[in-house]
Amino acid sequence: MDHKLKTILFRMLALLPNKVDDFFYHKIQGFFDKSTLEDRLKSVEYTCLRLSKVLHKLNIDVRDKTVFEFGSGWFPSMPYFFKYKYEAKEVLTYDINKHFKKDTVLELNQIFSKKYNCTIIPEPGNKFGLPNGIEYFPNYNIITQGIPSPDIVFSRYVLSHMRENDVISLHKKMKMELKKGTTVIHFISPSDLRQHGDNTISLQEFLKYSTLEWDKIHTKFDYHNRLRLPQFLEIFTTCGLEVVHLEYESTKSGTKLYDLFKKVKLNTDYMRYSDEQLTAGNILVVLKV
């Protein structure tokens, strides 16, 4: 969908009463997103491939550990990989929204069991159809409410959709409340998500707006904080967390994506950064408390 039409649609949704807007958002997502659960699992496989390499490189063993995931998404993809591939003892997955549906989870149980040669049996009485060892906490704000004390904290493409102050508050909270040595793993996608459905604009298109202009454009359905890689790293280190691993991809000169990026008239807030810093994407960072 054209990014301008998408913006108009989201702004119209945001005018609806609470819960009504979420209902129609789910309906619209289902109408436009024709990908199957198998398709979605394939995209998560890429995450697991990168994660496995980094876990091996850093000698991090997930077996029999407790994993705290924030940003559960639409179904428990990463919790299943943590439990059935990495043999975690338990996975606690938290989300500020409530997206899991029992029918979807039960379908996922069958697909995942067959595809990855394991047996997933829903725990009796679990209202989401989840197996023992995976707990789902929807409608939960980890900034204002308590957080568990796990061995590993994990997020997949979540930090860019949190307000900058909340990103800072969360990492301060981690430093203060998590046990020393806890591993924190973030996958971050700091690109303009409007481009994912409209390849006529740059992945960095939103960097042309001032803060005031951008605040007028997006809504809770497509919120993006626009933090660049150096800003994320500064937040992590200022909050007292150690960066033990960092990898990312930057847009290469001579490509169509780079040409689109160079057409963006950057707002003055971003002129102090290099092209590499501005276009850094597919970020994987591992932190230690």
Q: What is the pLDDT of residue 5?
A: 67
Q: What is the pLDDT of residue 104?
A: 94
Most confident of 9-13, 28-32, 184-188, 196-200: 184-188
**Is 98's pLDDT higher than 70?**
yes
Domain-by-domain residue ranges, the chain? 35-288
Distance CA 122, CA 130 (A): 5
Q: Which residue has the higher pLDDT, 243 or 199?
A: 243
Indicate the pLDDT class of residue 224, thresholds 50, 70 and 90.
confident
Q: Edge-to-edge strand order for the sheet containing 152-156?
A: 134-137, 90-94, 66-70, 152-156, 183-188, 281-288, 242-249
Indicate the pLDDT class of residue 20, thresholds 50, 70 and 90.
low
Give the mean model confidence (pLDDT) for residues 89-101.
95
35-288 placed in CATH 3.50.50.60: no
Say what percent of the chain tops pLDDT 90.
76
Would the pTM of this model clear 0.85, i.e. be above it? Answer: yes
Q: What is the mean pLDDT of the chain?
A: 90
Q: What is the pLDDT of residue 254?
A: 93
Are 108 and 75 within 8 A, CB to CB?
Answer: yes
Q: What is the pLDDT of residue 223?
A: 74
| pLDDT per position as a tens digit, 173-219 | 999 999 999 999 999 999 887 766 677 889 999 999 999 998 887 77
Q: Which residue has the higher pLDDT, 126 or 221?
A: 126
